[in-house]
Structure 1
Amino acid sequence: MHPGSNYFEPIDDHRYKPTAHAGGAWDPGELHFSPLGGLVVHAIERHVGERAATGMALSRVSFDILGRLALDEYEIRVETVRPGRTIELVEAVALVAGRPVVRARAWLLGSWDTGAVAGGASGGLPRPETLAPWPLASLWPGGYIASLDVRPVGAPRPGRTTAWISTSVGLVAGQAASPLASYLALVDTANGIAVRRPPTAWMFPNVDLTVHLHRRPEGNWTGLDTTVVFGPAGQGVTSTVLHDLAGPVGHAQQMLTVRPLPAAEGP
């Protein structure tokens, strides 16, 4: 990893400045949500880590995107909403100039040995080193997309793509991000790998992201087995089975607002 190759530079314990690597896909002058989601999880883990080890695992995180994500300084505030020894709810807010732009809630659940009853997940994916790279930057602009190594499993199709995503760009300069935060920093890419219609003619940004995990992901690759559905009245859903190299780890859902770009509208 090259020096300075990170999505965010810390300003203090709660404020971060995005770099050009975090530039958005819909507008390169804005922030792509994916690395910001990873940053919020990083802040949640630091908040939880300030207390004695609880043995709990982050098992669900939901993000609501409240407005435009500027390439500007971000403050992340985290509080425990529902403390507990085996179940805990944590809330985080990302602010720009004092204005909330993302709200997130994360459930942490107690950990026990349930290996004897584990099961029900689908099979794994072909390993990324066996697959050819896909230049996703040919479809989307922005520093974030340019920072990715994308390896599709088979030819991408409209509304249906399975792919591995990785990056050599770190999350926060000078701070060790957990495998979980680094993994989740790539999940929002799902809505961009299985496009149903060209983004030059249609907009379909997501207004949220919810991730449920049945196992903690490990390694440097995020596997996205993604299906996109557009409804008839302006809404859509991106659904993803999440993988790491050992197999499935959970699911992600994104709610889309679907609309034609002005140039594509009829008279």
Structure 2
Amino acid sequence: MIAMVTGASSGFGEAISRALVAAGHRVIGTGRRAERLAGLADELGESFLPLVFDVQDKAATRAALDGLPSGWSEVDLLVNNAGLALGLAPAHQSELEDWEQMIATNISGLTLVTRLLLPGMVARNRGHVINIGSIAGTYPYPGGNVYGATKAFVKQFSLNLRADLAGTAVRVTNVEPGLCGGTEFSNVRFHGDDAKAASVYQGVQAISPQDIANTVLWIGEQPAHVNINSIEIMPVAQTFGPLHISRG
């Protein structure tokens, strides 16, 4: 199987790439940071192909995918992982630029890569799109405003893709993590404020990128007749009412 994992230079994408390669698959890892992808390529060897571009850049994305080597061009599994949250302020105090960047990456970038690879999957009558959504796409919380809205888009887009793909063997899944540590997510959200980012996970055994990677691998290796529509994953410490987190 040939997989493409967007946002492979850190966090979920890095862990997913490792898990897929360890299971015997080939992975095209995409991202903006060439040095991080090169380091992952050194670690994973010939089964990992680094591809440097920003999903927000339509021309660069098209050029990168059009330029895939012939032995890597038939992507069987697309993991749309590239995404981010910026800020946690209420809507009337949020930065418009933060909103625009979340929309550009979480929605526009995801749909662009999907649209470019999907025709090949349909033509070959095989393939799988796994979108990395979030519980924020289902459960609102203060400060989630546009981030949660982008993930609600991903949730509905995933379901609508399945509707459009009726009669084909192409599968679509939305993976919806809850509180997850060990990534740059909160550091990015709080614009590099390490202390504030660390406080999010203080006293909590959050889920990890490896947990998400294990889940993606399991979904991708299900029998061809099985489609996992969506899967929601939280740490035991997190639950509803609203999204209460028990701190130790």
TM-score (norm 1): 0.25
More helix by share: 2
Structure with higher strand content: 1
> Normalization by structure 2: what TM-score?
0.26
